[in-house]
Structure formats: structure tokens, C-alpha cells
């Protein structure tokens, strides 16, 4: 879904869980009307307990609290934790629970991350309610204020009422959403656009990125945890680098939750390096963030820009054109480049056979998955 650009917004970059988690909890604690949360991952543990406590606390104050979880990504949330949420007054629903239907339907997942509080403030990024986000995974988020918050809220509301979204068996409580509130823009605000993608037919996020890459004038920096890009994106990255654009990729290093995906993506390194693309592998932890900087255009959200995300998942990103946010994101990239190991083109060309074999094997598996489309 491609929403219109909205003027008069404010955006605050929140790098690392030590900043975005307290900001989101503070917003929930201050909620007066409603809290809407949509997540892919929620698993029983310390962070899930903190989230549940905050939501139950808001519900018991009379705030309408709606929690929408992916049917697969929430399998790690125990029955007792689900029951505690419902008994605490939280309306709980699940997108596309795993069932005995088509493989394609089971593969379609809600990968979006949306938090909306009172229709006045929203958050997005790559976060989830699993303990890895407390200290093991590097993640960022964006705080959103202004008219574009309404578009994020509409994304949530449409899916909440979707035929693929349902309560658990035995839960007869009818889901109720509060009335949509409208916001005025800030006088000194900046333009922003909420972008959503749903499978191969609705790839507005991908098309928007391709458009920006084709028009880039100075800088194209991209961070993604699962670098298995489409041919169309690889071609655009190569063309941009060859015409002198500063093209850099910030990718995970050896600390990765799916090492096979890393090997599948590494098979593209040589052609990219040869074209002049600079590749950095983040060393401190697994970097799970997804954000892009193209000159003064920024895109932050849930989309990994890989085959899987673009074909099967519901995704959502916030796009912004703003010099200050672009500067903040550039500085964030630079800090992360400094904590990374840059891949040397000559050393990569001489990499051992074992590494090449892993790239080939996982590349074949990736090609098989791609053909499932």
C-alpha cells in the first residue's frame, strides 16, 4: 500500500533498545485513550513480561489495549501468558494462525512492527517482544508524531478486522477498536509517508527503494540483517556504484541467527565489490536493524529487502525526507561502520574453498525457496 506524503510530522531516531524500549514503555504508561500494538515476534520471557505488565496496567486504567500478533511468530508465547493478557483486559488477536490449509497461506506472515498510542504517537522498526532485543541483537526504532500517525493506525485497523485475523478458539469476546482520531501537523514539521507491502503483488516498499536508488546523487547506504537481495536491487546497486555513488552495505558478521542466510547472501559479494560497493560486517552483536539512507531520504521499518520479505510477508516502513533525520541516520551508520569489519575485495576473491562451498550450497537452497513463489 502506498500512502500519500503527509506534511507536518516529527521523527525521532531511537538507536538501540536502551533508547527505544523506555520511550515506548513511557508512551504506553502515559496513554489515556488507546494503545494498538502489532508484532511479529513475541515469546515468553523477561521482555514479554515487561510488555504484558505495561499493557495490562494501561487496560486496568481504562485504556483500550489491542495486541495483534503473528500466528507463527507468537508460537513461543505460552498459554499462561496469553491468558494473563486476556484476563488483564488486553484484546488479543492473531494473524493467520498455522493451520491445515495451503502451504502458501501458512508462509504468509505479518512481519510488521507497529505501536500507536492515542493516535498521537507511533513507533516502528524491526523490534519484537523477545529477550534477544534486550542485549543480544542490535536494533533501532523510529518515533513518529504528526498526521502520518493516522496512516500507521489505519494499517493496524485494517488488519485487525481482516478475515485472516482471529482470536483463539474459545474466546468469544468481540474485538472493539476506539474511534480514529485525527491530528494536525506541526508548523515546523517535515514530510513523511507510511509504506506497506503485502506479498509479490503489493511491493510499494521495493518500488520506492528502486526509484530512489535510480535517482541517487551522492550516498546510498543500506543496512539489512538478511542480505539476499533480488536481482533488480543488485543491478541498481552495481549501476550506482559504477557511476561514482558512495554505495555501502551494513550487514551482520559471524554473529547471525540464521547463518545459512548469511552464506546465501555472500555469494553476491564478489560482483558487488568488483563494481565498487563497500561491504561492512557488523562485529559486536547480530545486527537486526533495517534502514536505508539515500541522500536525504530515509526508510526505516520491518522490511529486510530480501526475497522472503518481498514475496510472503506483510511489511511496513516509514519514509522521510528531512535533512536532520538524514544526518542522524548518517551518523548512526558511521558509528556502526566503525564497529564493523570492511570486506576487502582482494582477500574476498582469494577466500578458501570451504567458504565458497557454503555459498554454493545455501545459494542453491535459496534458489529453491525462490521458486516456491
Model pLDDT for residues 203-218, shown as the tens digit of each residue: 788 889 999 999 999 9
Least confident of 9-23, 88-102, 163-177, 188-202: 163-177
According to CATH, the superfamily of the domain at 194-371 is Endonuclease Chain A (3.30.870.10)
Q: What is the dihedral of CA 42, 310, 259, 368, to 10 degrees?
A: 120
Fold exhibited by the domain 6-166? Endonuclease; Chain A (3.30.870)
Is the pLDDT score of 284 beyond 60? yes
CA 241 to chain centre: 26
For residue 329, give the C-alpha cell: 541516520
Least confident of 160-174, 184-198, 275-289: 160-174
Distance (Å, whole) CA 8 – CA 337: 32
What pLDDT does residue 367 have?
78
User: Where does residue 12 rank: exposed (0-12), middle (13-18), buried (19+ CB within 10 A)?
Assistant: middle
What pLDDT does residue 199 have?
55
Distance (Å, whole) CA 230 – CA 29: 41
Confirm if 216 and 294 have CB atoms less than 8 A apart.
yes
| pLDDT-based confidence at residue 181 (cuts at 50, 70, 90) | confident
Helices 46-60 and 79-87: crossing angle in degrees, nearest 10, is: 20
What pLDDT does residue 372 have?
59
Q: Where in the chain is CATH 3.30.870.10?
A: 6-166, 194-371
CA 76 to chain centre: 20
Is the pLDDT score of 292 beyond 70? yes
Q: What does pTM read for this prediction?
A: 0.94
Q: In this predicted model, what pLDDT tens digit does every residue of 32-90 receive, in sequence order?
A: 999 999 999 999 999 999 999 999 999 999 999 999 999 999 999 999 999 999 999 99
Distance (Å, whole) CA 204 – CA 189: 24
| pLDDT-based confidence at residue 279 (cuts at 50, 70, 90) | very high
Is the pLDDT score of 202 beyond 90? no
What pLDDT does residue 170 have?
55
| pLDDT-based confidence at residue 370 (cuts at 50, 70, 90) | low
Q: In this predicted model, what pLDDT tens digit does every residue of 86-109 receive, in sequence order?
A: 999 999 999 988 877 666 677 788
Give the helix/strand (H/E) hosting 354. helix 353-371
Percent residues over pLDDT 70 in the chain = 92
More confident call, 348 vs 169: 348
Contacts of 233 (CB under 8 A, 6+ apart): 206, 209, 210, 213, 305
For residue 167, give the C-alpha cell: 482470536
Mean pLDDT of the chain: 92
Highest mean pLDDT among 93-97, 100-104, 298-302, 365-369: 298-302
Distance (Å, whole) CA 159 – CA 368: 30
Closest CA to 208 of 310, 332, 331: 310
Amino acid at each position: 500500500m502506498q500512502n500519500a506524503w503527509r506534511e507536518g510530522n516529527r521523527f525521532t531516531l531511537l538507536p538501540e533498545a536502551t533508547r527505544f524500549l523506555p520511550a515506548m514503555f513511557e508512551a504506553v504508561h502515559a496513554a489515556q485513550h488507546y494503545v494498538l500494538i502489532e508484532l511479529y515476534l513475541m515469546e515468553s520471557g523477561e521482555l514479554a513480561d515487561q510488555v504484558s505488565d505495561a499493557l495490562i496496567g494501561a487496560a486496568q486504567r481504562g485504556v483500550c489495549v489491542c495486541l495483534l500478533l503473528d500466528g507463527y511468530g507468537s508460537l513461543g508465547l505460552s498459554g499462561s501468558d496469553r491468558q494473563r493478557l486476556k484476563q488483564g483486559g488486553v484484546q488479543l488477536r492473531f494473524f493467520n494462525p498455522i493451520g491445515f490449509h495451503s502451504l502458501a497461506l501458512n508462509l504468509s506472515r505479518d512481519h510488521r512492527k507497529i505501536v500507536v498510542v492515542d493516535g498521537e504517537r507511533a513507533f516502528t522498526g524491526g523490534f519484537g517482544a523477545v529477550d534477544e532485543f534486550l542485549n543480544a541483537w542490535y536494533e533501532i526504532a523510529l518515533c513518529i508524531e504528526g498526521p502520518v500517525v493516522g496512516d500507521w493506525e489505519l494499517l493496524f485497523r485494517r488488519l485487525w478486522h481482516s478475515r485472516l485475523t482471529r482470536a483463539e478458539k474459545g474466546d468469544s469476546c468481540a474485538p472493539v477498536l476506539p474511534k480514529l482520531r485525527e491530528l494536525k501537523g506541526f508548523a515546523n514539521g517535515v514530510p513523511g509517508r507510511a509504506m506497506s507491502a503485502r506479498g509479490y503483488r503489493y511491493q510499494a516498499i521495493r518500488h520506492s527503494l528502486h526509484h530512489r536508488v535510480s535517482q541517487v546523487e551522492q550516498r546510498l547506504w543500506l543496512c539489512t540483517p538478511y542480505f539476499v537481495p533480488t536481482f533488480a536491487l543488485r543491478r541498481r546497486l552495481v549501476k550506482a556504484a559504477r557511476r561514482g555513488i558512495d554505495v555501502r552495505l551494513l550487514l551482520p558478521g559471524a554473529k547471525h541467527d540464521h547463518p545459512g542466510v548469511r552464506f546465501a547472501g555472500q555469494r553476491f559479494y564478489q560482483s558487488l565489490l568488483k563494481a565498487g560497493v563497500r561491504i561492512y560486517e557488523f562485529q559486536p552483536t547480530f545486527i537486526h536493524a533495517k534502514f536505508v539512507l539515500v541522500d536525504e531520504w530515509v526508510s526505516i521499518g520491518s522490511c529486510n529487502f530480501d526475497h522472503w520479505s518481498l514475496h510472503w510477508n506483510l511489511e511496513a516502513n516509514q519514509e522521510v525526507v528531512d535533512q536532520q533525520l538524514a544526518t542522524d541516520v548518517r551518523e548512526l551508520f558511521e558509528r556502526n561502520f566503525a564497529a564493523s569489519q570492511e570486506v576487502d575485495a582482494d582477500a574476498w576473491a582469494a577466500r578458501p574453498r570451504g567458504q565458497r562451498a557454503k555459498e554454493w550450497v545455501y545459494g542453491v537452497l535459496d534458489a529453491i525457496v525462490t521458486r516456491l513463489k
